[in-house]
């Protein structure tokens, strides 16, 4: 559907996020289809975009959910997810979070250290439950992505080394309160090369076989997320190759494949609509100043990430290099550097593309800016799925010191 952005802005104001739910659905189904040769369960990684309407739409597709905080678990449940389709990951789960997750009877908890396992065992003992666990293994493969989003190397804080994992499984097997059901790896985000995933899958499958020989039978092979999108070009990852690399590693093993896609499902579907406020030409540089900022979309500032920029109503006059910047008091507040764009007009609509993942979910109130509204496009209809914040809602948790 061709979106009338002028009309959208007239109704909902600028800036705003809009997500194409039909595109997300279609991606979910294509990914599921790629794994049809085996039992598989997609568990959407909420942290990419955790809007409740989006989660509800995924629940209707029978999605599971990968959560990294107890509030994400609660979001998934609120959206209607079944507890047995929810998994809980993360290096810093607190004892209270573990307790609550156990009481909610979710599918399993992904453990990231021996200390965490002992803590979980204690909690399970208190509740007199048997905790289903999976262990996040660090296979030490280089995902060849940005260092901030690479997670599968010796130097990263995530997961445990293979030998440590083996010792943990042996301990868990003997424990009255732990039940090992899965193994997990997640080597990084924004992976465009399938090879490191295949390599990791092979290493972890070998561990599964060794455990089998020790009479530890796992049910879930959790390959994490990480499938990337090409932010500069329209190219899409080959899902068939992705699936084959994992299926090949698993030959001879009868496990359910669990996937935790985040970015792949939602990144392309999201657009950040904003408006040009001013152009500023200095002796050295041209700046296009817009009404959205790094508090709305942090990726360029945080990872130097590239996002395509479109000016849908531009006459394409006098293109030249410019920096597209927001109004926050940080030099790191930019959406693009040295980008060739035509001369813009005040009030002109600008679209920052592929902003559906790690966009709104990373947004903040920095500079006391209100969080912006979110819209969904589904079956040719547009609806609001989050109201724009207001000054009043922004300050509502603060306690003012009043003089007597
Ligand atoms: C962030 C994360 C994901 C999702 O990563 P994407 O790159 O968005 O697919 C999946 N699993 C775990 C454990 C994560 O931390």
Based on the fold, state whether residues 275 and 249 are members of the same structural domain: no
- How far CA 18 is from CA of 24, 322, 358, 381, 403, in Å, comes to 12, 25, 14, 12, 44
Based on the fold, state whether residues 312 and 213 are members of the same structural domain: no
Spatial CB neighbours of 2, under 8 Å, sequence gap ≥ 6 = none
Residue 28 lies in a domain: no
To the nearest whole number, what is the mean pLDDT of the chain?
95
Based on the fold, state whether residues 258 and 285 are members of the same structural domain: no
Task: Answer left, alpha or beta for residue 140, where phi above 0 means left and psi between -120 and 50 means alpha.
Answer: left
* pLDDT number for residue 159: 87
358 is in an annotated binding site: yes
Based on the fold, state whether residues 208 and 329 are members of the same structural domain: no
Based on the fold, state whether residues 300 and 252 are members of the same structural domain: no
The model's confidence at residue 99, banded by pLDDT at 50, 70 and 90, is very high
Average pLDDT over residues 154-169: 89
The model's confidence at residue 58, banded by pLDDT at 50, 70 and 90, is very high
* pLDDT number for residue 30: 98
Residue 387 CA to ligand 1 center (angstroms) comes to 27
Q: Which domain holds residue 197?
A: 37-262
Residue 400 lies in a domain: no
For 203-223, the pLDDT digits (tens) are 999 999 999 999 999 999 999
Q: What is the largest CA-CA distance in the chain?
A: 75
Based on the fold, state whether residues 287 and 251 are members of the same structural domain: no
312 is in an annotated binding site: no
Based on the structure, what is the number of domains in the chain?
Answer: 2
Rounded to the nearest angstrom, the gap between the alpha carbon of residue 105 and the centroid of all alpha carbons in its chain is 23
DSSP one-letter string for 163-200: HHHHHHHHHHHH-SSEEEEEEE---BSSB--SHHHHHH
Residue 29 lies in a domain: no
Q: From 110, 55, 113, select the one nearest 262 (Cα to Cα).
A: 55
Residue 155 lies in a domain: yes
Active site includes 329?
yes
At residue 141, does pLDDT exceed 70? yes
**CATH at residue 238:** 3.20.20.10
The model's confidence at residue 189, banded by pLDDT at 50, 70 and 90, is confident
CB under 6 Å to ligand 1: residues?
45, 47-48, 66, 68, 89, 186, 189, 224-227, 260-264, 357
Domain end among 262, 278, 297:
262
Based on the fold, state whether residues 193 and 296 are members of the same structural domain: no
Q: Which atom of ligand 1 is nearest to the CA of 136?
A: 13
Domain end among 234, 262, 290:
262
For 112-136, the pLDDT digits (tens) are 999 999 999 999 999 999 999 999 9
Based on the fold, state whether residues 112 and 222 are members of the same structural domain: yes
261 is in an annotated binding site: yes
Based on the fold, state whether residues 192 and 277 are members of the same structural domain: no
Q: Which atom of ligand 1 is nearest to the CA of 110?
A: 13
At residue 1, does pLDDT exceed 90? no
Residue 359 lies in a domain: yes
- How far CA 88 is from CA of 33, 94, 95, 320, in Å, comes to 25, 12, 13, 48
């Amino acid at each position: 559907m061709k979106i009338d952005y002028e009309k959208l802005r007239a109704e909902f104001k600028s800036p705003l996020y809009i997500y194409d739910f039909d595109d997300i659905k279609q991606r979910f189904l294509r990914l599921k289809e790629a794994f049809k040769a085996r039992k598989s369960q997609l568990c959407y990684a909420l942290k990419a975009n955790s809007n409740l309407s989006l989660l509800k739409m995924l629940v209707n597709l029978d999605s599971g959910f990968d959560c990294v905080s107890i509030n994400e678990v609660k979001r998934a449940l609120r959206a209607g997810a079944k507890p047995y389709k929810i998994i809980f990951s993360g290096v810093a789960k607190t004892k209270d979070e573990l307790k609550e997750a156990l009481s909610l009877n979710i599918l399993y908890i992904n453990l990231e250290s021996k200390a965490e396992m002992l803590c979980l065992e204690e909690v399970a003992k208190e509740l007199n439950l048997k905790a289903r666990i999976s262990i996040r293994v660090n296979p030490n493969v280089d995902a060849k992505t940005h260092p901030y989003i690479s997670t599968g190397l010796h130097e990263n804080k995530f997961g445990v080394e293979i030998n440590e994992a083996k010792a943990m499984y042996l301990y868990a097997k003997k424990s009255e309160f732990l039940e090992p059901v899965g193994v997990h790896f997640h080597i990084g985000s924004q992976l465009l090369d399938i090879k490191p995933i295949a390599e990791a899958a092979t290493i972890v499958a070998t561990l599964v076989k060794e455990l089998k020989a020790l009479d530890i039978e796992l049910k879930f092979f959790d390959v994490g997320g990480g499938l990337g999108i090409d932010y500069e070009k329209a190219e899409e990852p080959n899902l068939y190759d992705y699936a084959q690399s994992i299926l090949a590693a698993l030959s001879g093993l009868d496990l359910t494949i669990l996937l935790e896609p985040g970015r792949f499902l939602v990144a392309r579907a999201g657009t950040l609509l904003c408006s040009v406020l001013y152009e500023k030409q200095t002796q050295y540089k041209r700046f296009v100043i817009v009404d959205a900022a790094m508090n709305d979309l942090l990726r360029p500032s945080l990872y130097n990430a590239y996002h395509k920029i479109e000016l849908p109503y531009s006459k394409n006059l006098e293109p030249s290099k410019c920096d597209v910047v927001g109004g926050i008091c940080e030099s790191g507040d930019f959406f693009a550097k040295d980008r060739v764009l035509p001369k813009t007009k005040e009030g002109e609509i600008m679209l920052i593309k592929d902003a559906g993942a790690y966009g709104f979910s990373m947004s903040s109130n920095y500079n006391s800016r209100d969080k912006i509204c979110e819209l969904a496009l589904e079956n040719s209809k547009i609806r609001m799925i989050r109201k724009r914040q207001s000054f009043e809602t922004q300050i509502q948790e603060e306690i003012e010191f009043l003089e007597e």
